[in-house]
Amino acid sequence: MQIDRRLLIHFDWILVGFVLAIASIGILNLYSATTKIEISGTPLYLKQIFWVLIGLAIMVTIAFIEYRFYSDVGYIAYSIALFLLIVVLGYGMITSGAQRWVKIGSLSFQPSEFVKIALIMALAKYFHRPPDRKGYSLKQLGLPFILLLFPMGLILKQPDLGTAIILLLVFFSILIFVKIRWSSLLAIVLPGAAVVPLLWRFLKEYQKKRIITFFNPDLDPLGAGYHLIQSKIAVGSGGILGKGFMKGTQSKLGFLPEQQTDFIFSALGEEWGLIGSLFVISLYFALILWGLRIAVQAKDRYSAILAFGVVAMLFWHVFINIGMVLGMMPVVGIPLPLLSYGGSFIISTLIGVGLLLNVSMRRYLF
Amino acid sequence: MMELNTQRMEDFKGIYRYLVVFISLAFLLIFIRLWSLQVIMGGDLRRLSENNCIRLRENPADRGMLLDRKGRILARNRPSFEVYLVPEDVKSNPEVIAQVGKLLNIPTEDIQQRFDTQKRRAPFKPVKIKSDIDWNELALLETNRVHLPGLIVDVRPRRAYDYGDLASHLIGYLGEIDENELKQSRETAYRMGALIGKYGIEYRWENDLRGVDGGRQIEVDALGREIRPMGVVEPFPGNNLFLTIDLDLQQTAEEAYQDKNGALVAMDPKTGHVLAMVSKPSFEPDVFARNILPEEWKSLVENPSHPLQNKGIQGQYPAGSVFKIITAIAGLESGTITPNTTFTCTGAFPYGNRNFRCWKEKGHGSISLHRAIVESCDIYFYQVGLKVGPDLIAHYANEFGLGKVTGIALPHERPGTVPSSSWKKKRFGVPWYSGETLSFSVGQGYLNATPLQLLMLISGVANGGKLFLPQVVEKVENIYGSKLKEYPPVELGRANVSEKTLQSVQDALRGAVNDPHGTGWTCALKDVKVAGKTGTAQVIKLPDNFKKGDMNRVPLKFRDHAWFVAYAPFEDPKIAVAVLVEHGGFGASAAAPIAKKVIERYFNVQPSAPQKRTEVESDLEDAD
């Protein structure tokens, strides 16, 4: 493929700069948070560097393929992701009570991570046909709903409440972005809210417990509530200036379970205090606003929706994860982009950034 | 490639600023929260974290109690005082180790070793130094508490079995949860080191017995002293089980065995409720409740008498003459014989190139079915067996539940073996020899059964063919006494045997205990009519010229097993018993007296000395 010289001129260094800054802080933070944990094999931060490098390579590759190609293969990619999800349910390895992993050779990955991207691609393709003056009607939302519900059902069955919630939020964000009629939105949301008590019955015991303990952490100070109390102590004890790099005690002494994944932000808050936390949060804020600008300035509907979907995904991950660590939201397993440890998640995040770059580079073309 | 649409792009621009406002608000929210945690509450939270002063203390739930059918406690919980040290706290006061060691009589090296083996525990997690200390030790520790930072004395419930080894196989035992069990219990949270039922009822009813563990989150100071609890979850005790066994009956049965080995199962034939279940030798379940020592475990496992096996359901033995009940039923049902059919017993029965013998060397003469069962004539049943054939015998054995597990809710039940011509072909690849039919028809050869299976057989006969699932638990109650589960009688089926046939067999079984010359006379009672059948299971084939009286000179492990199965009262059966005495010799002398004691106890009748009838022959003692 001939690479257009103009592409290189318009390469979005600012976006890449934000991503590299967050990822570097992430690796540093992971190094500090996990040094005391005895885990056999390669240290986690080294693995994370490895994943970030692979992810960056994939990101650049994705950025340079014309996005029309993604539009063409949108539904195929979606079907493959869905198929992998089914494989997970059937043959997936079982880790910590849930079937989330597929193993190919010596590599294991979580298909649910890639379903997020696949769903965004499929929805962008569907909504690239414009609505009439008033916006999309209920009738036109049938297929998008099917596109959402299949993977969501499969992911809930794993059970992975966090990823399912992300899918749902990204889906509704896109609906609002592409403009659906207010009446249609109400027609979906109201009955949906009525169904929530029904859905409660389908939640696993541990999921119910987490939601109950969110509203009353003292109910279960040893189990699910324990995360909340400890995480709040960790962040709060950082104060304004933090305890300093490698000086955190809460996270190092093993008070925090899953500190390297979902609760990584508490280690950051403990060691870097309000100053450090604010800095990282500002980076996320800038990244997300920058992404939103890319989406709005895109040259066509498809790329705009694609870019917006990625922005929505990043936003909800950041907002829910930090909200959870700070005890503003129930504990649902949602990792923090570029800060949490996890190969599949790093790569899916960087695929998303690759799509953003892609759209950003081409807004002056055609 | 498809054409990309650029219509209505203004929609996106229109919503842009709302999205910016929304996202900004979300981040503002995060900022406010961060401010309140790190600036406003920062000081307090910092103090909590700096002393790393929150400790988790487990508070395990009381395990449910086991009670007998009348509500008498068989297994309960008692407080046990456990001593822990927190290595991180002790580090600054190393002399504490020596002092604690002195008070508890443990060498300092042992404590250090315990610390070392638990290197990978979470920081500040206490390490257990000694469990179940006595009152003196407790008093010593408590009075010196102030000088011993890092010391924790905690109360834990400990399983207590007040009757020692009583019904140990039925009750089972506990053990520390292993890795597999930890993995399997995905959603019910067990902690490492938790005790879990491993055998018997403790194993099968684990989910009912275990309660919900509680715990405390405690703020402690720099010396590890507790300041205040931060959160407490009270444990909730497990549910109580009411077993079907009767404590008095169980005790009587256990005592009746004296130092003999074997198994006894008694049940109500009309409900399947197990009234007593003995397996000897037994073990002390208490040994497992505290962590069993390797030597103790080794001696239990390597004991040739298999004390860890519940022989009532796991021991498979030839049924011996007890099996003649089946051969008789097969003969009558197939029409091959009638109650009046007679055969002649001369004491020996030449077949093929072998001489099959009757236990009574002089022979029984011309004998009918009734007398053949009463006096347990082998030669009569050799001839019935030959006429009926092995497959029909096997069919009726299966009708009464032999050859398959009864389905009792206890682990490791064995199915026994009922041979047939097709079974043999499949198992050994050779056809059935008719000589084998002779052994089969008197319960030797390939035939194997557990004591519980023979109990099912005699209960079925007593009960008009109806078979009930043997059950060991009657109901489950929570600590408030409300019933959570009940186990009503479950009818497994009805053996397809005519009333008339059963009646003939029942009459003969009554005769075996009560008639003159009956082999089961040692179980006869004055006030209650007992029906029963003796049996002897060969362990090895003794030489043809072997004399009955020589049995005492055979090494114990080669002596025959003694059987006795019985039910009472004859008119309206309330209890059925199967007794096996390993290497006990003959059913009449070894097994029947045990059954007698149990039946006496059950009906609360005065023990009566066996009335030795004048015409009884001396060798009836040794009747097969």
Question: ipTM of this model?
Answer: 0.91
Judge whether B11 lies within some domain. no
Q: Name the band, by pLDDT with cuts 50, 70 and 90, for residue B615.
A: very low
- HSE of B476 in the Cβ direction (CA atoms, 13 Å)? 15
Q: What is the CATH number of the domain that holds B115?
A: 3.90.1310.10
The predicted model gives B559-581 an average pLDDT of 94
At A154 the pLDDT is 87
Enclosing domain of residue B99: 55-243
At A210 the pLDDT is 64
- Spans of chain A below 70 pLDDT: 1-4, 35-41, 91-108, 204-207, 209-227, 249-259, 365-366
Distance CA A276, CA B466 (A): 79
Statement: residue B606 has pLDDT above 90 = no
Statement: residue B611 has pLDDT above 70 = no
Residue of A nearest to B55 (CA): A255
- CB–CB contact B46 A236 (8 Å): yes
At B505 the pLDDT is 95
The predicted model gives B242-270 an average pLDDT of 94
Best A72, A140, A222 member to test B by mutation, with max B CBs in 10 Å, is A222
Least confident of B133-137, B162-166, B315-319, B424-428: B133-137
| pLDDT over 70, % of chain B | 88
At B122 the pLDDT is 58
Q: Same domain for B261 and B230?
A: no
What are the helix and strand counts (H, E) for chain B?
23, 23
Q: Same domain for B236 and B369?
A: no
Distance CA B458, CA B460 (A): 5
Statement: residue B450 has pLDDT above 50 = yes
Contacts of A339 (CB under 8 A, 6+ apart): A22, A25, A26, A29, A30, A264, A265, A268, A280
Tokens 């029409």 -> residue: B335
Contacts of A273 in chain B (CB under 8 A): 38
Statement: residue B614 has pLDDT above 60 = no
Q: Same domain for B208 and B258?
A: no
Q: Same domain for B446 and B519?
A: yes
Q: Same domain for B415 and B533?
A: yes
Contacts of B494 (CB under 8 A, 6+ apart): B464, B465, B466, B467
Strands B66-67 and B240-243: parallel
Q: Same domain for B519 and B618?
A: yes
pLDDT in tens, B209-252: 988 887 777 766 555 556 666 667 778 899 999 999 999 999 99
When divided into structural domains, chain B yields a total of: 2
Do B556 and B584 meet the contact criterion of CB atoms below 8 Å apart?
no
Q: Over chain B, what is the mean pLDDT?
A: 86
Distance CA B372, CA B328 (A): 10
At B616 the pLDDT is 44
Statement: residue B273 has pLDDT above 90 = yes
Q: Same domain for B221 and B255?
A: no
Residue of B nearest to A238 (CA): B38
Best A229, A233, A274, A315 member to test B by mutation, with max B CBs in 10 Å, is A233
Where among B243, B260, B294 does a domain terminate? B243
Contacts of B14 in chain A (CB under 8 A): 179
Q: Same domain for B230 and B326?
A: no
Judge whether B506 lies within some domain. yes
At B490 the pLDDT is 93
Q: Same domain for B563 and B492?
A: yes
pLDDT in tens, B50-69: 655 566 677 788 899 999 99
- CB–CB contact B4 A300 (8 Å): yes
The overall pTM is greater than 0.90: no
Residue B581 in 3-state DSSP? strand
Statement: residue B331 has pLDDT above 90 = yes
Q: Same domain for B193 and B263?
A: no
Using alpha carbons, select from A358, A360, A365, A364 the residue that is nearest to residue A66: A358
Q: Same domain for B462 and B435?
A: yes
| B residues 221..280 contacting A (CB < 8 A) | 230-233
Q: Same domain for B257 and B206?
A: no
Q: Name the band, by pLDDT with cuts 50, 70 and 90, for residue B362.
A: confident
Closest residue to B27, CB basis, from A205, A223, A285 = A285
Statement: residue B434 has pLDDT above 90 = no
Contact with chain B for residue A265, Cβ under 8 A? no
Contact with chain A for residue B32, Cβ under 8 A? no
Active-site residue, B185 included: no
Judge whether B305 lies within some domain. no
Least confident of A327-331, B133-137, B160-164, B386-390: A327-331
Statement: residue B113 has pLDDT above 50 = yes
Judge whether B172 lies within some domain. yes
- For residue B8, give how far its alpha carbon lies from the nearest alpha carbon of chain A (Å): 7
Closest residue to A38, CB basis, from B7, B49, B120 = B120
Contact with chain A for residue B52, Cβ under 8 A? yes
**DSSP string across B449-504:** B-HHHHHHHHHHHHTTTEEE--BSEEEEE-TT--EEEE----EEEE----HHHHHH
At A55 the pLDDT is 95
Statement: residue B617 has pLDDT above 50 = no
Active-site entry in B168, B279, B282, B321: B321
- Reply yes or no: is the peptide bond before residue B60 cis, omega within 30 of 0: no
Q: Name the band, by pLDDT with cuts 50, 70 and 90, for residue B148.
A: confident
Statement: residue B90 has pLDDT above 60 = yes
Contact with chain B for residue A39, Cβ under 8 A? no
Q: Name the band, by pLDDT with cuts 50, 70 and 90, for residue B124.
A: low
Q: What is the CATH number of the domain that holds B473?
A: 3.40.710.10
Q: Name the band, by pLDDT with cuts 50, 70 and 90, for residue B623.
A: low
Judge whether B4 lies within some domain. no
Closest residue to B187, CB basis, from A206, A273, A277 = A206
Q: Which residue has the higher pLDDT, A217 or B28?
A: B28
Contact with chain B for residue A55, Cβ under 8 A? no
Closest residue to B37, CB basis, from A135, A217, A326 = A326
At B548 the pLDDT is 56
Judge whether B50 lies within some domain. no
**DSSP string across B266-293:** EE-TTT-BEEEEEEES---THHHHSPPP
Closest residue to B1, CB basis, from A72, A235, A254 = A72
